[in-house]
């Protein structure tokens, strides 16, 4: 038997994103369209074709992906939202078919795209363990053998015969993960299911994951969390807009990824295409200003500064019920600080904005340790996201005499600086 566990050759997946809105010219056209379309649909249906009319737009979620995973390797898959990570996992776990190319998998596969798939709220914990395990592909004798372990891992032994609908959400997640963690396939495919539950349980899950990795099984691990990827994975695949950009040792790929982010931030906001939201309004420019109101991209520790966001509304009218936030993340993608107008300016704000303008966030004191950080911009209108840009700008924090002592704590001892003072109380003798 060869040592390859997964071989992917020229894999691609095309999605249709539905028909564009048609403009009927005359009433007659629209009438024939109304009658003609269902007839066409039924004809397609009977022929067993999907709704593929020439009006459909399509896009390639994945294109020309090739790579190999050796037996026993733990491989991470990273990339931004919409890079095609989930599509790749769905193809490899056979949930959906590729449009072109092929993949060969040597060994029994277990795929975990969600925790607690198929749980039925009316059934008890015990019953759901059997159901969920069967859905994930476990045999009955395997479930019988591992049942006690699963219950112990989930820490729900008292509630094992209670209907799952009475569980807290945390208990449900724990039970789901416990079942999944006891899958014993040769090849494990995991989506970001670890991003659930409380911190202690997440640690436990990560521990279980590294156990699995240590047992010499092949693991494919998709995540946003660079820390988890760099801890678990020996090599990593980087995807970007459906294409494989880099495949190599995890350390190199993550470095490349974070430096690629840096070049990305140099693109003018106005021209950025990789944004989410309904586009009712867009950020067009971001400016950092230091305490002297000079434009800069580097802020001193302890200094006050402003983040200025230019925006324009796409609609004809002004914007109502708007809320804005800026999230500061580190290069691994961990969120550090959220500057949210609703929180800092007070509760039930109903901000209305003119068609075009500038939003200014003033920060009294830079309390991050020196280093490079990224800004994610967010604008919502009502409950809908209007615009969201991840890694919109880089924020450099420069050494400065934060404490007035001429010293800062050494690098990598923390993320934040907090004003503090020490007293030395000695016992009287």
Partner 1 sequence: MTVTENYALVEEAKRNEQAAQTIIEPSRGWVPLNLRELWQYRELLYFLTWRDVKVRYKQTALGAMWAIIQPFMTMVVFSLFFGRLAQVPSDGIPYPIFSYAALVPWTFFANGMSASANSLVGSQNLIKKVYFPRLVIPISTVFSGIIDFALAFIVLMGLMLYYGIMPTANIIWLPLLLLLAFITSLGVGLWLSAMNVEFRDIRYMVPFLVQFWMFATPIAYPSSLIENPVLRAIYGINPMTGVTEGFRWALLGTDTAPGAIVLVSALAAVVLFVSGLYYFRRMEKSFADVV
Token pair belonging to 251: 């350390």
Contact call for residue 127 and partner 1 (CB under 8 A): yes
Residue from 88, 92, 194, 280 binding partner 1 (CB under 8 A): 92
In the region spanning residues 2 to 31, those forming contacts with partner 1, defined by CB under 8 A, are: 15
Residue from 37, 51, 246, 291 binding partner 1 (CB under 8 A): 51
What is the nearest approach in angstroms of partner 1 to the Cβ of residue 352? 39
Contact call for residue 277 and partner 1 (CB under 8 A): no
Instruction: Specify whether the CB–CB gap between 137 and 187 falls below 8 A.
Output: no
Q: Which range in 101-109, 233-241, 282-290, 312-320 contacts partner 1 by CB under 8 A?
A: 101-109
H or E segment at 421?
none
Instruction: Specify whether the CB–CB gap between 254 and 248 falls below 8 A.
Output: no
Residue from 30, 34, 36, 94 binding partner 1 (CB under 8 A): 94
* Per-residue buried b or exposed e for 83-114, using 16+ beta carbons within 10 Å of the residue's own CB: bbbbbbbbbbbeeeebbebebebbeebbbbbe
What is the nearest approach in angstroms of partner 1 to the Cβ of residue 343? 34
Q: Where are the alpha helices (DSSP H) in 2-92?
A: 27-47, 85-92
In this structure, what DSSP letter does residue 271 have?
G
Residue closest to 292 by CA, chosen among 282, 303, 307: 303
Residue from 122, 161, 268, 271 binding partner 1 (CB under 8 A): 122
Strands 56-70 and 4-19 turn out to be antiparallel
Contact call for residue 161 and partner 1 (CB under 8 A): no
CB nearer to partner 1: pick between 160 and 337: 160
Contact call for residue 106 and partner 1 (CB under 8 A): yes
Contact call for residue 215 and partner 1 (CB under 8 A): no
In the region spanning residues 360 to 389, those forming contacts with partner 1, defined by CB under 8 A, are: none
Instruction: Specify whether the CB–CB gap between 229 and 76 falls below 8 A.
Output: yes
Rounded CA separation 123/120 (Å)? 6
Q: Which range in 89-97, 199-207, 230-238, 248-256 contacts partner 1 by CB under 8 A?
A: 89-97
What is the nearest approach in angstroms of partner 1 to the Cβ of residue 161? 14
Rounded CA separation 258/255 (Å)? 5
Contact call for residue 137 and partner 1 (CB under 8 A): yes
Say how many C-beta atoms besides its own lie within 10 A of residue 292's C-beta. 9
Residue from 140, 166, 262, 362 binding partner 1 (CB under 8 A): 140
* Per-residue buried b or exposed e for 355-372, using 16+ beta carbons within 10 Å of the residue's own CB: eeeebebebeebbbbbee
- x-or-dash string of contact with partner 1, 181-210, rule CB under 8 A: -----x------------------------
Rounded CA separation 212/326 (Å)? 38
Contact call for residue 281 and partner 1 (CB under 8 A): no
Rounded CA separation 257/30 (Å)? 50
Instruction: Specify whether the CB–CB gap between 177 and 151 falls below 8 A.
Output: no
Contact call for residue 139 and partner 1 (CB under 8 A): yes
Residue from 78, 105, 393, 395 binding partner 1 (CB under 8 A): 105
What is the nearest approach in angstroms of partner 1 to the Cβ of residue 216? 15
Contact call for residue 63 and partner 1 (CB under 8 A): no
Which residues are near partner 1 by CB under 8 A? 15, 41, 45, 48, 50-51, 90-109, 111, 113-114, 117-118, 120, 122-123, 127, 130-131, 134-137, 139-142, 186
């Amino acid at each position: 038997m060869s040592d390859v566990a997964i071989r992917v050759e020229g894999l691609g997946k095309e999605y249709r994103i539905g028909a564009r809105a048609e403009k009927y010219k005359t009433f007659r056209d629209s009438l024939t369209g109304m009658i003609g379309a269902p007839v066409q649909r039924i004809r397609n249906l009977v022929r067993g074709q999907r709704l593929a009319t020439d009006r459909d737009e399509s896009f390639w979620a994945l294109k020309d992906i090739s790579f190999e995973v050796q037996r026993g390797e733990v491989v991470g898959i990273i990339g931004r939202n919409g890079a095609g990570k989930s599509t790749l996992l769905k193809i490899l776990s056979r949930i959906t078919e590729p449009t072109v190319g092929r993949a060969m998998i040597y060994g029994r596969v277990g795929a975990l795209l969600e925790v607690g798939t198929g749980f039925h709220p009316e059934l008890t914990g015990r019953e759901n363990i059997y159901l969920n395990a069967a859905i994930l592909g476990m045999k009955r004798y395997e479930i019988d053998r591992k049942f006690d372990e699963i219950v112990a891992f989930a820490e729900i032994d008292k509630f094992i015969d209670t209907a799952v609908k009475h569980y807290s959400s945390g208990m449900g997640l724990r039970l789901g993960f416990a079942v999944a963690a006891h899958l014993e396939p040769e090849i494990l495919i995991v989506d970001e299911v670890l991003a659930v539950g409380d911190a202690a349980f997440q640690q436990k899950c990560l521990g279980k994951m590294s156990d699995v990795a240590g047992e010499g099984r092949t693991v494919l691990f998709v995540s946003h969390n660079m820390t988890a990827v760099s801890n678990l994975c020996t090599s990593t695949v980087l995807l970007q807009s459906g294409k494989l950009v880099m495949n190599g040792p995890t350390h190199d790929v993550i470095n490349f990824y974070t430096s690629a982010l840096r070049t990305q931030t140099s693109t003018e906001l106005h021209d950025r295409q990789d944004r989410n939201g309904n586009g009712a309004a867009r950020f067009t420019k971001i400016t950092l200003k230091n305490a002297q109101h000079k434009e800069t991209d580097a802020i001193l520790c302890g200094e006050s500064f402003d983040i200025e966001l230019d925006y324009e509304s796409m609609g004809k009218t002004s914007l109502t019920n708007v809320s804005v936030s800026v999230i500061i993340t580190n290069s691994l993608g961990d969120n550090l600080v959220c500057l949210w107008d609703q929180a800092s300016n007070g509760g039930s704000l109903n901000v209305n904005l003119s068609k075009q303008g500038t939003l200014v966030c003033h920060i009294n004191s830079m309390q991050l340790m020196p280093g490079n950080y990224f800004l994610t911009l967010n604008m919502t209108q009502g409950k809908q996201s209007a615009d969201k840009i991840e890694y919109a700008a880089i924020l450099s924090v420069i050494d400065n005499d934060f404490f007035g002592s001429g010293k800062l704590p050494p690098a990598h001892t923390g993320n934040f600086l907090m004003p503090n003072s020490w007293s030395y109380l000695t016992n009287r003798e």
